[in-house]
Structure 1
Amino acid sequence: MKRERFFALVAAVSVVLAGTGAAMPFADEGPFLVAQPDAIVGTPAAGGDRILWIELATVPEFALFGDRAIHAYNTTSGTATLIRSRAANARSPDIDGDLAVWEEERGTTTDIVLYNFRTGTVSALHTAALQHNPRVSGSRIVWEEGFDGERGIRMYDMTTGSLYGLSTGKNDCFAPDIDGTTVVWVEQSDRDAYAIVSADLVSGRRDVLGVPSVPVSPRIDGGRTVWEDEGLIQLASTEDGVTTLTREPAPRSGAIIGEAIVAWSEEGRIICHDLSDGQTTRTGKRQASTKPAILDDGIAWVDEGNGGVLSIRYQPFASPHPGGLQVEPAAVVTPVSMGTQGGRIREGECAWYALDVSPGTTGISLDFSWEIVDESLSCTLIGPGGAVFRFTDSDDEAMDARIRVSVTSPAGIIPGRWYCAVSGESVREDVSYAIVWYESATGR
């Protein structure tokens, strides 16, 4: 079979496609610009189809005394909302369902402020002590209360109107999070001794999930808790103990969990780890993307561009692909037919190729390689049915300037023209690459 059947150069454009790796496909559109604030306070929060963040107030008279503004963006409707234009030293936003919370200075103390998206109302939760780092799940809000060194964990249930003290003893407790009826926080028992405590609100059971070496901010979802410690990402549950998701220490921050996805920032890129199959995917700009937040249908983060210009970006996930299609790293490929093409590419460029797949084909494999390990390239597969899969060097678990992946389905993959887009993610000058396709079919 002639090589031209497998590859035809379609176009070359100056755009980098968004997408994903094997286990967690991103949509073919995005990332989308949500906002360009002058300065973002802390990390954005996300929940459902909303992104919530705090920025410095832009109106000059509002910029005095630490005034800040609370903003939200709905990814479904594509609309932005200014929730509060003047909030004294507001910080630590969180969101769940129709409820958003944050801390805000009110008079001589710090209180928790609540916003209901459904009713559009703002209210405050006040206690006699300073309140910091609120987190919300359903009708329950938890926070740390008091001064450093003597903080305790408190909870308010909006359904019952009850206020609870969750931490006991004289230890300093801080950085809480809540998911349903489980609360986690960090407890410091000595100068350099920390423990991540999990408390079940129903049974009263308490467990130590881990003992980080430094203060951390654990995040919980679905009964699993994540945090970063000494450059490693840790995942823990009361049933399974602690699992280290990363192999080697690296500059990592902002670990967060949502559904079956753990995300963090690593050396200025956003890393998404799929807990269902252990695959990881990179997105965002190299050396510029931090502070991830997970929505139901995508992920948001903060980019810092040239001159310190900030932006909030949102990348939706792709819809589940049809027909039992499986896309996964392939350490070894078994060729039946083969076609090869290659070229040179610069940062920001994208070269397109096409592969015509015959009816009855149950699998195709891609072997994509380039000449310099330090350069960052990606390839994106787009199927005739609209399925999109994006791969980077780490997706086959080997940083070797080579990506080998397979697309298979026992019922046969969708026949027709498949496209492959090669993108220069981070390239110093230009880099040479090569692509080899392997095709297999039932009965061959």
Structure 2
Amino acid sequence: MNRRGRAAALLALLLVLAAPGQAASTGSGAATLRVLPESHPLLLVPCAPAGVDPVLCDGLVVWYAPGHRDWDILTYDPAGGTLTARRTGGVPVQGDRIAWIETDGAGRAWLTGPERERLLLPANNWSEGHPVVGEDRLVYERTQNSESGIFLYNLTDGTETAVCTAPGDQRRPWLSGSVVVWEDWRDGTADIYLTDLATGEEQPLAAGPGEQNRPVVSGDMIVWQERESGDGIWQVRLTDLTGSGSTSLEEIRSMKEPSPSLSGDLLLWTERRRGGTDLCLLAMDGDGAGHRAGGQYAIESREDGGARVDEEYRGEIAGDDYAFFATGVPTGTARTSIDLKWDDNESSLLLLISGPDGSVFRFRDEDDGEEDQAVRLSLTRNGRVAPGTWTSAVYGEEVGERVTFTYRWYLEPI
């Protein structure tokens, strides 16, 4: 695929992800979809600038990247596909709104933000305090006698309260409503503890061998990362405080820390790799599982796509690489059939398709009933296919050097 074609496909993918009536922007580089088990639709912003771990804030992905002297606040809108940046000289603050802490030479500190309102804060080493703001409160670390504890500051009445000062270190707090969670080292390894500010009750949430750290709470849901002792693989766990227990999101596994974040029904994590950090975003349903929009369509195996080939793409792909293609489906299409073939029986390719109606599909070789280095399937929903731009990603799941493939689309009119 030539450079112009690749750019067009990437732009088309941005347009697919954009909300109706909104124009997508390529200012973020390129947004794409990551292939994961169970057809989870996932937004990936590749090679984001390094810096403070990204979090979800009011439906936006927010992170801070170090500039020449100051910090850049970067915000990514998943609906519109737009990236914006703001320069600030303060210490980044995470939480339910964009904010930072400014200090002066006399040791005074203020919480501020884009509206420039300044709220005086108590003295603290804010550059190492991991501050998080939630409504009218700020939760943070404070080091005393060489150990860090968790403290809460009321931005309305100016009072400071100790949340936890147990032996050992308490780090990386997060706040939502009346619940504060943090990473606790009182037993020698990182565990997850929480306190309900309304009752004052403290309890361990995730404890035991290995490491459990970087918790984030949003409403009744808490997410964190963990790995077993001696195991280099991190994974993400999600729990519901209403009592449904914790869920291990097995598909999110990484040698590098995924640093998960949570806001409402959106789950965010990072995949760090050579050349940059990828930001991954997953929409969840009420049970903490990824939406499976592809289930709305009837999917059938098909031996022959049809006599006429409407779109054909040829190329080569290496392991862990993507090739992107945009296909225009006209109004009045009853069914579309796809045919992906490759020439190496030792290789395995994945095919991810996203439609203009938000549907996302993931197909492997065996999904059409035969393991023959090909995927041959047809899609229809109530005798129609959504018109507009459909974007495909061919992913080299298991590839030696490179593998040659052919990808065809067949469109059947009503």
Do the structures match in fold with TM over 0.5?
Answer: yes
- Specify the alignment match of 1:278 in structure 2: 289
- How do residues 35-74 of structure 1 correspond to structure 2 at under 5 angstroms? 40-48=50-58, 53-58=63-68, 67-71=69-73, 73=75
Partner Cα distance (1:406, 1:267) in 2 = 36
- Specify the alignment match of 1:259 in structure 2: 264
TM-score in terms of structure 1 length: 0.62
Q: Does 1:327 align with 2:322?
A: no
Aligned length: 355
Alpha-carbon shift at residue 186 of structure 1 (Å): 1.5
Change (3 A) 1:169 1:423: closer
The one of 247, 254, 272 equivalent to 1:250 is 254
> For 1:254, what is the secondary structure of its paired residue?
coil
- Specify the alignment match of 1:94 in structure 2: 94
Pairwise CA RMSD: 4.8
Partner Cα distance (1:46, 1:185) in 2 = 17
Q: Any conservation in 2 of the 1:19–1:27 contact (CA below 8 Å)? A: no
Q: Any conservation in 1 of the 2:124–2:142 contact (CA below 8 Å)? A: no
Extract unaligned runs of 5+ from structure 2: 30-46, 228-233
TM-score in terms of structure 2 length: 0.66
> For 2:157, what is the secondary structure of its paired residue?
coil
Alpha-carbon shift at residue 40 of structure 1 (Å): 4.5
Partner Cα distance (1:434, 1:78) in 2 = 32
Change (3 A) 1:366 1:41: same
Q: Any conservation in 1 of the 2:303–2:376 contact (CA below 8 Å)? A: no
Q: Does 1:178 align with 2:175?
A: yes
Partner Cα distance (2:343, 2:160) in 1 = 61
Partner Cα distance (1:331, 1:251) in 2 = 37
The one of 223, 233, 236 equivalent to 2:236 is 233
Alpha-carbon shift at residue 247 of structure 1 (Å): 5.0
Alpha-carbon shift at residue 183 of structure 1 (Å): 0.9
Q: Any conservation in 2 of the 1:380–1:388 contact (CA below 8 Å)? A: no
Partner Cα distance (1:356, 1:336) in 2 = 24
> For 2:260, what is the secondary structure of its paired residue?
strand
- The one-letter code matched in structure 1 to 2:300 is V
- The one-letter code matched in structure 2 to 1:278 is A
Change (3 A) 1:105 1:331: farther
Alpha-carbon shift at residue 339 of structure 1 (Å): 3.2
- Specify the alignment match of 2:164 in structure 1: 167
- The one-letter code matched in structure 2 to 1:272 is L
Q: Deviations over 1:167-224 (max 9, x none)?
A: 14334211100112211012222223x3211222223333322126226211121221
- How do residues 95-244 of structure 1 correspond to structure 2 at under 5 angstroms? 95-97=95-97, 99-102=98-101, 113-118=110-115, 120-127=116-123, 132-146=129-143, 150-192=147-189, 194-211=190-207, 213-214=210-211, 216-230=213-227, 231-238=234-241, 239-244=243-248
Q: Does 1:26 align with 2:17?
A: yes
Partner Cα distance (1:50, 1:331) in 2 = 33
Partner Cα distance (1:39, 1:224) in 2 = 28
- Specify the alignment match of 1:9 in structure 2: none
Q: Any conservation in 2 of the 1:19–1:390 contact (CA below 8 Å)? A: no
Change (3 A) 1:80 1:93: same
Change (3 A) 1:140 1:365: farther
- The one-letter code matched in structure 2 to 1:345 is G
- Specify the alignment match of 1:431 in structure 2: 404
Q: Any conservation in 1 of the 2:143–2:149 contact (CA below 8 Å)? A: yes
Partner Cα distance (2:266, 2:376) in 1 = 23
Q: Percent identity?
A: 17
Extract unaligned runs of 5+ from structure 1: 1-11, 59-66, 282-325
Greater relative contact order: 1 or 2 (C-alpha under 8 angstroms, separation 6 or more)? 1
Q: Any conservation in 1 of the 2:191–2:213 contact (CA below 8 Å)? A: no
Change (3 A) 1:195 1:404: farther
> For 2:18, what is the secondary structure of its paired residue?
coil
Partner Cα distance (1:227, 1:397) in 2 = 33
